[in-house]
Amino acid sequence: MRTNLDRFKTDTTLEEQGAPVEIMEGVTFYVRSEQAPKVRAWMMARFKKNRSLFAGGGSLSLAQLDKIDIDKAAEVLTTGWEGYTTEDGTPIPFDVETARAVFAEVPRVRQLVVTASQEAENYRAAEVAALAKNSSTPSPRSSGTGDVAA
């Protein structure tokens, strides 16, 4: 049965593989959804790693929280990118370590990725198809993780 809430359904394959998110003109990051199983598993593992700290009434420092955010954005949220280049236009290939450096050096880019991972409209097939139709033909994405389907 179709309902008026069907418009909130998302493409789970797109959520897991990463949706194209243009973070600035000509630069697209592929971002996995916060709801993707791989992201949720990563978050649970990180929580378990820090469980003893929380059980004792402790908390994480801002630096520790930033490191977790950087690691999450680099290791599981970002699955690739296009259009990220050096000043002379040389493409910078995606890999986790490069992504980690980008997110540490440019916190606003990390914030854009984290926010995009939480926005359901990025993972609705109809919206993504409309975006692709209105933009240039995407090129294959570069990934050092080997887990991204083009």
- On whether residue 117 sits in a domain, the answer given is yes
User: Residue 55 pLDDT > 60, yes or no?
Assistant: yes
Edge-to-edge order in the sheet of strand 78-82: 19-24, 27-31, 78-82
The pLDDT tens digits of the residues spanning 74-109 come to: 999 999 999 999 999 999 999 999 999 999 999 999
Count of domains forming the chain: 1
User: Cα–Cα distance between 61 and 35 in angstroms, integer?
Assistant: 26
- On whether residue 150 sits in a domain, the answer given is no
- On whether residue 59 sits in a domain, the answer given is yes
More confident residue, 56 or 24: 24
- On whether residue 140 sits in a domain, the answer given is no
User: Cα–Cα distance between 84 and 145 in angstroms, integer?
Assistant: 17
State the DSSP H helix or E strand holding residue 134, giving kind and residue range, or none if neither.
Answer: helix 125-134
pTM comes to 0.77
- Tell me which residue range forms the domain holding 98: 11-134
Q: Provide the pLDDT for residue 101.
A: 98
- On whether residue 145 sits in a domain, the answer given is no
- On whether residue 129 sits in a domain, the answer given is yes
